[in-house]
Structure 1
Protein backbone atom coordinates (compact mmCIF):
# COMPACT_ATOMS: atom_id res chain seq x y z
CA UNK A 1 0.00 0.00 0.00
CA UNK A 2 2.89 2.38 0.77
CA UNK A 3 4.15 2.15 -2.83
CA UNK A 4 0.65 2.68 -4.22
CA UNK A 5 0.24 5.82 -2.11
CA UNK A 6 3.64 7.06 -3.27
CA UNK A 7 2.86 6.49 -6.95
CA UNK A 8 -0.58 8.13 -6.74
CA UNK A 9 0.71 11.09 -4.70
CA UNK A 10 3.60 11.65 -7.13
CA UNK A 11 1.22 11.63 -10.07
CA UNK A 12 -1.12 14.10 -8.38
CA UNK A 13 1.70 16.38 -7.23
CA UNK A 14 3.08 16.57 -10.77
CA UNK A 15 -0.31 17.24 -12.27
CA UNK A 16 -1.78 19.65 -9.71
CA UNK A 17 1.15 20.92 -7.64
CA UNK A 18 2.75 20.00 -4.33
CA UNK A 19 0.87 22.64 -2.32
CA UNK A 20 -2.45 22.22 -4.13
CA UNK A 21 -2.85 18.50 -3.39
CA UNK A 22 -3.95 17.64 0.14
CA UNK A 23 -3.80 14.35 2.00
CA UNK A 24 -7.62 14.31 1.74
CA UNK A 25 -7.34 14.60 -2.05
CA UNK A 26 -4.95 11.64 -2.23
CA UNK A 27 -7.14 9.53 0.07
CA UNK A 28 -10.27 10.37 -1.95
CA UNK A 29 -8.54 9.62 -5.26
CA UNK A 30 -7.38 6.23 -3.95
CA UNK A 31 -10.62 5.37 -2.17
CA UNK A 32 -8.84 4.93 1.17
CA UNK A 33 -8.92 6.76 4.48
CA UNK A 34 -6.49 9.50 5.36
CA UNK A 35 -5.56 7.36 8.36
CA UNK A 36 -4.22 4.70 5.97
CA UNK A 37 -1.88 7.26 4.42
CA UNK A 38 -0.68 8.37 7.86
CA UNK A 39 0.16 4.76 8.73
CA UNK A 40 2.85 4.96 6.03
CA UNK A 41 3.73 8.68 5.95
CA UNK A 42 3.60 10.65 9.19
CA UNK A 43 2.83 13.96 7.46
CA UNK A 44 2.58 15.61 4.07
CA UNK A 45 6.19 16.85 4.16
CA UNK A 46 7.38 13.26 4.45
CA UNK A 47 5.18 12.22 1.51
CA UNK A 48 6.37 15.17 -0.61
CA UNK A 49 10.00 14.28 0.12
CA UNK A 50 9.41 10.59 -0.63
CA UNK A 51 7.65 11.54 -3.89
CA UNK A 52 10.41 13.84 -5.10
CA UNK A 53 13.15 11.35 -4.26
CA UNK A 54 11.20 8.49 -5.86
CA UNK A 55 10.77 10.53 -9.01
CA UNK A 56 14.44 11.51 -8.96
CA UNK A 57 15.51 7.84 -8.68
CA UNK A 58 13.12 6.78 -11.46
CA UNK A 59 14.46 9.47 -13.79
CA UNK A 60 18.09 8.77 -12.83
CA UNK A 61 17.71 5.07 -13.64
CA UNK A 62 16.07 5.93 -16.97
CA UNK A 63 18.87 8.35 -17.85
CA UNK A 64 21.47 5.70 -16.97
CA UNK A 65 19.67 3.26 -19.26
CA UNK A 66 19.60 5.78 -22.13
CA UNK A 67 23.31 6.56 -21.66
CA UNK A 68 24.11 2.84 -21.94
CA UNK A 69 22.27 2.41 -25.26
CA UNK A 70 25.28 3.54 -27.29
CA UNK A 71 23.59 6.34 -29.25
CA UNK A 72 25.65 9.29 -30.37
CA UNK A 73 25.72 12.11 -27.79
CA UNK A 74 23.31 14.35 -29.70
CA UNK A 75 20.67 11.63 -30.00
CA UNK A 76 21.29 10.77 -26.36
CA UNK A 77 20.41 14.31 -25.24
CA UNK A 78 17.17 14.26 -27.24
CA UNK A 79 16.23 10.85 -25.79
CA UNK A 80 16.94 12.08 -22.26
CA UNK A 81 14.87 15.24 -22.84
CA UNK A 82 11.91 13.17 -24.08
CA UNK A 83 12.21 10.69 -21.20
CA UNK A 84 12.42 13.39 -18.53
CA UNK A 85 9.51 15.36 -19.98
CA UNK A 86 7.36 12.23 -20.13
CA UNK A 87 8.11 11.42 -16.49
CA UNK A 88 7.53 15.02 -15.39
CA UNK A 89 4.25 15.25 -17.28
CA UNK A 90 5.78 17.64 -19.83
CA UNK A 91 7.15 19.72 -16.99
CA UNK A 92 4.25 21.79 -15.88
CA UNK A 93 6.05 24.63 -14.04
CA UNK A 94 3.50 24.86 -11.20
CA UNK A 95 4.72 21.81 -9.22
CA UNK A 96 8.36 22.96 -9.27
CA UNK A 97 7.34 26.50 -8.30
CA UNK A 98 5.24 25.19 -5.40
CA UNK A 99 7.98 22.79 -4.29
CA UNK A 100 10.48 25.67 -4.19
CA UNK A 101 8.11 28.05 -2.40
CA UNK A 102 6.47 25.75 0.15
CA UNK A 103 9.08 23.00 0.60
CA UNK A 104 12.40 24.86 0.19
CA UNK A 105 14.55 22.27 2.02
CA UNK A 106 13.20 19.43 -0.12
CA UNK A 107 13.67 21.57 -3.25
CA UNK A 108 17.27 22.38 -2.31
CA UNK A 109 18.09 18.71 -1.65
CA UNK A 110 16.52 17.76 -4.98
CA UNK A 111 18.46 20.45 -6.85
CA UNK A 112 21.77 19.31 -5.36
CA UNK A 113 21.05 15.69 -6.30
CA UNK A 114 19.96 16.73 -9.78
CA UNK A 115 23.13 18.77 -10.25
CA UNK A 116 25.30 15.88 -9.14
CA UNK A 117 23.54 13.44 -11.47
CA UNK A 118 23.05 15.75 -14.42
CA UNK A 119 26.48 17.32 -14.13
CA UNK A 120 28.21 13.96 -14.39
CA UNK A 121 25.89 12.82 -17.18
CA UNK A 122 26.45 15.98 -19.24
CA UNK A 123 30.24 15.90 -18.73
CA UNK A 124 30.29 12.28 -19.94
CA UNK A 125 28.09 13.24 -22.88
CA UNK A 126 30.37 16.15 -23.79
CA UNK A 127 33.53 14.04 -23.60
CA UNK A 128 31.94 11.36 -25.74
CA UNK A 129 30.89 14.02 -28.27
CA UNK A 130 34.43 15.44 -28.40
CA UNK A 131 35.84 11.95 -28.90
CA UNK A 132 33.40 11.28 -31.76
CA UNK A 133 34.16 14.62 -33.43
CA UNK A 134 30.61 15.91 -32.88
CA UNK A 135 31.55 18.55 -30.30
CA UNK A 136 34.37 21.07 -30.47
CA UNK A 137 37.51 19.72 -28.77
CA UNK A 138 38.39 23.02 -27.06
CA UNK A 139 35.22 23.21 -24.91
CA UNK A 140 35.60 23.07 -21.15
CA UNK A 141 33.30 20.13 -20.34
CA UNK A 142 32.81 20.80 -16.59
CA UNK A 143 32.01 24.47 -17.26
CA UNK A 144 29.65 23.74 -20.16
CA UNK A 145 27.89 21.11 -18.02
CA UNK A 146 27.24 23.78 -15.38
CA UNK A 147 25.97 26.23 -18.02
CA UNK A 148 23.64 23.52 -19.32
CA UNK A 149 22.31 22.68 -15.84
CA UNK A 150 21.81 26.36 -14.96
CA UNK A 151 19.93 26.94 -18.21
CA UNK A 152 17.72 23.88 -17.83
CA UNK A 153 16.92 24.90 -14.26
CA UNK A 154 16.05 28.46 -15.24
CA UNK A 155 13.53 27.22 -17.83
CA UNK A 156 11.29 26.34 -14.86
CA UNK A 157 11.30 29.92 -13.58
CA UNK A 158 7.80 31.13 -14.42
CA UNK A 159 8.76 34.79 -13.93
CA UNK A 160 11.31 34.54 -16.74
CA UNK A 161 9.47 32.02 -18.90
CA UNK A 162 5.76 32.69 -18.43
CA UNK A 163 3.96 29.40 -19.28
CA UNK A 164 1.23 31.38 -21.03
CA UNK A 165 3.83 32.68 -23.49
CA UNK A 166 6.23 29.74 -23.69
CA UNK A 167 5.13 26.10 -23.78
CA UNK A 168 7.43 23.82 -21.80
CA UNK A 169 8.08 21.47 -24.71
CA UNK A 170 9.04 24.36 -27.01
CA UNK A 171 11.36 25.76 -24.35
CA UNK A 172 13.07 22.41 -23.88
CA UNK A 173 13.65 21.91 -27.61
CA UNK A 174 14.82 25.50 -28.15
CA UNK A 175 17.24 25.30 -25.22
CA UNK A 176 18.64 21.94 -26.31
CA UNK A 177 19.18 23.27 -29.84
CA UNK A 178 20.79 26.45 -28.42
CA UNK A 179 23.14 24.32 -26.29
CA UNK A 180 24.10 22.00 -29.14
CA UNK A 181 24.65 24.74 -31.73
CA UNK A 182 27.12 26.33 -29.32
CA UNK A 183 29.27 23.21 -28.94
CA UNK A 184 28.85 21.20 -32.15
CA UNK A 185 31.36 20.83 -34.93
CA UNK A 186 30.10 20.93 -38.52
CA UNK A 187 29.68 17.15 -38.33
CA UNK A 188 27.64 17.60 -35.13
CA UNK A 189 25.45 20.29 -36.71
CA UNK A 190 24.60 17.86 -39.53
CA UNK A 191 23.52 15.25 -36.95
CA UNK A 192 21.51 17.89 -35.10
CA UNK A 193 19.73 19.03 -38.28
CA UNK A 194 18.62 15.44 -38.88
CA UNK A 195 16.92 15.37 -35.48
CA UNK A 196 15.17 18.75 -35.68
Structure 2
Protein backbone atom coordinates (compact mmCIF):
# COMPACT_ATOMS: atom_id res chain seq x y z
CA UNK A 1 0.00 0.00 0.00
CA UNK A 2 1.49 3.35 -1.05
CA UNK A 3 1.89 6.13 1.52
CA UNK A 4 -1.10 8.19 0.36
CA UNK A 5 -3.46 5.21 0.48
CA UNK A 6 -2.12 4.19 3.89
CA UNK A 7 -2.64 7.69 5.28
CA UNK A 8 -6.19 7.83 3.94
CA UNK A 9 -7.02 4.35 5.21
CA UNK A 10 -5.63 5.15 8.66
CA UNK A 11 -7.45 8.49 8.84
CA UNK A 12 -10.79 6.91 7.94
CA UNK A 13 -10.29 4.19 10.54
CA UNK A 14 -9.52 6.78 13.23
CA UNK A 15 -12.38 9.08 12.20
CA UNK A 16 -14.82 6.17 12.44
CA UNK A 17 -13.56 5.18 15.89
CA UNK A 18 -12.95 8.55 17.54
CA UNK A 19 -14.85 11.06 15.44
CA UNK A 20 -13.34 13.72 13.20
CA UNK A 21 -12.65 16.56 15.62
CA UNK A 22 -10.70 14.44 18.12
CA UNK A 23 -8.20 13.17 15.52
CA UNK A 24 -5.21 15.35 14.62
CA UNK A 25 -2.77 15.13 11.75
CA UNK A 26 -0.13 14.14 14.32
CA UNK A 27 -2.36 11.26 15.50
CA UNK A 28 -2.71 10.02 11.94
CA UNK A 29 1.03 10.27 11.29
CA UNK A 30 1.85 8.42 14.50
CA UNK A 31 -0.63 5.62 13.74
CA UNK A 32 0.83 5.32 10.23
CA UNK A 33 4.39 5.23 11.60
CA UNK A 34 5.45 8.21 9.49
CA UNK A 35 6.25 11.86 10.13
CA UNK A 36 3.62 14.58 10.16
CA UNK A 37 5.61 16.24 7.36
CA UNK A 38 4.98 13.20 5.16
CA UNK A 39 1.24 13.44 5.81
CA UNK A 40 1.27 17.09 4.72
CA UNK A 41 3.18 16.15 1.57
CA UNK A 42 0.13 14.15 0.47
CA UNK A 43 -2.70 16.20 2.01
CA UNK A 44 -2.67 19.98 2.30
CA UNK A 45 -4.55 19.95 5.59
CA UNK A 46 -7.02 17.95 7.65
CA UNK A 47 -9.94 19.36 5.68
CA UNK A 48 -8.53 17.87 2.47
CA UNK A 49 -8.10 14.53 4.21
CA UNK A 50 -11.67 14.56 5.52
CA UNK A 51 -13.02 15.59 2.10
CA UNK A 52 -11.29 12.78 0.24
CA UNK A 53 -11.90 10.20 2.96
CA UNK A 54 -15.63 10.77 3.14
CA UNK A 55 -15.98 10.89 -0.62
CA UNK A 56 -14.26 7.52 -0.76
CA UNK A 57 -16.71 6.10 1.78
CA UNK A 58 -19.68 7.33 -0.23
CA UNK A 59 -18.18 6.04 -3.47
CA UNK A 60 -17.53 2.63 -1.94
CA UNK A 61 -21.11 2.47 -0.66
CA UNK A 62 -22.52 3.44 -4.04
CA UNK A 63 -20.33 0.88 -5.82
CA UNK A 64 -21.48 -1.82 -3.43
CA UNK A 65 -25.16 -1.05 -4.06
CA UNK A 66 -24.62 -1.39 -7.83
CA UNK A 67 -22.62 -4.61 -7.54
CA UNK A 68 -25.05 -6.12 -5.08
CA UNK A 69 -27.98 -5.34 -7.37
CA UNK A 70 -26.23 -7.00 -10.32
CA UNK A 71 -25.12 -10.13 -8.45
CA UNK A 72 -28.17 -10.82 -6.27
CA UNK A 73 -30.46 -13.56 -7.59
CA UNK A 74 -33.61 -11.58 -6.79
CA UNK A 75 -34.89 -8.43 -5.10
CA UNK A 76 -35.16 -9.99 -1.64
CA UNK A 77 -31.59 -11.29 -1.73
CA UNK A 78 -30.48 -7.86 -2.93
CA UNK A 79 -32.25 -6.08 -0.07
CA UNK A 80 -30.88 -8.45 2.56
CA UNK A 81 -27.38 -8.02 1.15
CA UNK A 82 -27.53 -4.22 1.30
CA UNK A 83 -28.96 -4.36 4.82
CA UNK A 84 -26.08 -6.59 5.95
CA UNK A 85 -23.59 -4.15 4.40
CA UNK A 86 -25.15 -1.19 6.22
CA UNK A 87 -25.24 -3.08 9.52
CA UNK A 88 -21.59 -4.09 9.28
CA UNK A 89 -20.62 -0.53 8.44
CA UNK A 90 -22.56 0.79 11.42
CA UNK A 91 -20.71 -1.52 13.79
CA UNK A 92 -17.45 0.29 13.05
CA UNK A 93 -18.87 3.81 12.98
CA UNK A 94 -18.93 6.03 16.06
CA UNK A 95 -22.00 8.33 15.87
CA UNK A 96 -19.66 11.14 16.98
CA UNK A 97 -18.18 11.11 13.49
CA UNK A 98 -21.55 11.97 11.94
CA UNK A 99 -22.12 14.67 14.56
CA UNK A 100 -18.69 16.19 13.85
CA UNK A 101 -19.30 16.22 10.11
CA UNK A 102 -22.66 17.90 10.54
CA UNK A 103 -21.31 20.55 12.93
CA UNK A 104 -17.79 21.26 11.66
CA UNK A 105 -17.82 20.17 8.01
CA UNK A 106 -21.17 21.32 6.55
CA UNK A 107 -20.01 21.03 2.93
CA UNK A 108 -19.10 17.38 3.39
CA UNK A 109 -22.25 16.73 5.37
CA UNK A 110 -24.32 18.10 2.49
CA UNK A 111 -22.74 15.40 0.29
CA UNK A 112 -23.71 12.77 2.85
CA UNK A 113 -27.27 14.09 2.92
CA UNK A 114 -27.39 14.15 -0.88
CA UNK A 115 -26.24 10.54 -1.03
CA UNK A 116 -28.91 9.52 1.49
CA UNK A 117 -31.69 11.45 -0.26
CA UNK A 118 -30.70 10.47 -3.79
CA UNK A 119 -28.40 7.43 -3.89
CA UNK A 120 -29.92 5.34 -1.11
CA UNK A 121 -33.50 6.33 -1.88
CA UNK A 122 -32.99 5.58 -5.58
CA UNK A 123 -31.61 2.14 -4.70
CA UNK A 124 -34.64 1.39 -2.52
CA UNK A 125 -37.04 2.42 -5.30
CA UNK A 126 -35.21 0.30 -7.87
CA UNK A 127 -35.36 -2.68 -5.51
CA UNK A 128 -39.12 -2.20 -5.15
CA UNK A 129 -39.55 -2.09 -8.92
CA UNK A 130 -37.44 -5.20 -9.31
CA UNK A 131 -39.38 -7.09 -6.66
CA UNK A 132 -42.70 -6.15 -8.23
CA UNK A 133 -41.47 -7.27 -11.67
CA UNK A 134 -40.32 -10.59 -10.19
CA UNK A 135 -43.67 -11.15 -8.49
CA UNK A 136 -42.06 -11.04 -5.04
CA UNK A 137 -43.53 -7.68 -3.97
CA UNK A 138 -47.19 -6.66 -4.13
CA UNK A 139 -48.26 -4.85 -7.28
CA UNK A 140 -50.28 -2.15 -5.50
CA UNK A 141 -47.32 -0.61 -3.67
CA UNK A 142 -46.92 3.17 -3.90
CA UNK A 143 -43.18 3.17 -4.61
CA UNK A 144 -42.41 6.73 -3.46
CA UNK A 145 -44.23 6.29 -0.15
CA UNK A 146 -42.91 2.81 0.63
CA UNK A 147 -39.34 3.76 -0.35
CA UNK A 148 -39.41 6.77 1.96
CA UNK A 149 -40.81 4.60 4.75
CA UNK A 150 -37.90 2.19 4.33
CA UNK A 151 -35.39 5.05 4.34
CA UNK A 152 -36.87 6.38 7.58
CA UNK A 153 -36.58 2.89 9.09
CA UNK A 154 -32.88 2.80 8.28
CA UNK A 155 -32.28 6.30 9.61
CA UNK A 156 -34.12 5.48 12.85
CA UNK A 157 -31.98 2.39 13.36
CA UNK A 158 -28.91 4.67 13.44
CA UNK A 159 -30.53 7.14 15.85
CA UNK A 160 -29.26 6.60 19.43
CA UNK A 161 -32.30 8.43 20.79
CA UNK A 162 -34.60 5.86 19.19
CA UNK A 163 -32.46 2.80 19.88
CA UNK A 164 -29.86 3.51 22.63
CA UNK A 165 -26.79 1.32 22.22
CA UNK A 166 -26.94 0.18 25.85
CA UNK A 167 -30.46 -1.19 25.31
CA UNK A 168 -30.54 -2.33 21.68
CA UNK A 169 -28.06 -4.27 19.56
CA UNK A 170 -27.81 -2.85 16.05
CA UNK A 171 -27.99 -6.27 14.36
CA UNK A 172 -31.22 -7.11 16.20
CA UNK A 173 -32.80 -3.75 15.33
CA UNK A 174 -31.96 -4.10 11.65
CA UNK A 175 -33.15 -7.72 11.53
CA UNK A 176 -36.48 -6.81 13.11
CA UNK A 177 -37.28 -3.74 11.00
CA UNK A 178 -36.13 -5.44 7.78
CA UNK A 179 -38.21 -8.58 8.40
CA UNK A 180 -41.25 -6.42 9.22
CA UNK A 181 -40.70 -4.36 6.06
CA UNK A 182 -40.24 -7.36 3.77
CA UNK A 183 -43.21 -9.33 5.06
CA UNK A 184 -45.34 -6.20 4.69
CA UNK A 185 -44.53 -5.65 1.00
CA UNK A 186 -44.10 -9.26 -0.15
CA UNK A 187 -46.55 -11.41 -2.07
CA UNK A 188 -47.22 -14.98 -0.89
CA UNK A 189 -44.38 -16.09 -3.15
CA UNK A 190 -42.12 -13.41 -1.69
CA UNK A 191 -43.06 -14.27 1.89
CA UNK A 192 -42.12 -17.90 1.27
CA UNK A 193 -38.71 -16.76 0.05
CA UNK A 194 -38.26 -14.42 3.03
CA UNK A 195 -39.08 -17.26 5.40
CA UNK A 196 -36.55 -19.48 3.61
CA UNK A 197 -33.84 -16.87 4.15
CA UNK A 198 -34.84 -16.49 7.80
CA UNK A 199 -34.80 -20.24 8.34
CA UNK A 200 -31.39 -20.54 6.72
CA UNK A 201 -30.08 -17.79 8.99
CA UNK A 202 -31.51 -19.48 12.09
CA UNK A 203 -29.98 -22.81 11.05
CA UNK A 204 -26.57 -21.14 10.75
CA UNK A 205 -26.96 -19.54 14.17
What is the TM-score of this pair, normalised by structure 2? 0.86
1:138 to 137, 140, 143: 140
2:126 to 103, 124, 127: 124
Aligned to 1:71: 73
Q: CA deviation at 1:98?
A: 3.2
Q: Deviations over 1:105-148 (max 9, x none)?
A: 32222121232111221111101111111111111112222222
2:23 to 21, 38, 44: 21
Aligned to 1:40: 42
Matched residue SS, 1:164: coil
Q: CA deviation at 1:149?
A: 1.7
Query: In the comparison of the two structures, how many residue pairs are matched?
Result: 196
Bigger radius of gyration, 1 or 2?
2
Q: CA deviation at 1:191?
A: 1.3
Q: Distance in 1 between matches of 2:180 and 2:48?
A: 38
Root-mean-square deviation (CA, aligned residues, Å) is 1.9
8 Å Cα contact 2:75/2:131 also seen in 1: yes
Aligned to 1:8: 10
Instruction: Show structure 2 runs of 5+ residues with no match.
Output: 199-205
Instruction: Say if 2:115 is the partner of 1:113.
Output: yes
Query: Which range moved further: 38-47 or 27-36?
Result: 38-47
Q: Deviations over 1:8-49 (max 9, x none)?
A: 111221222222322221111001122222222222222112
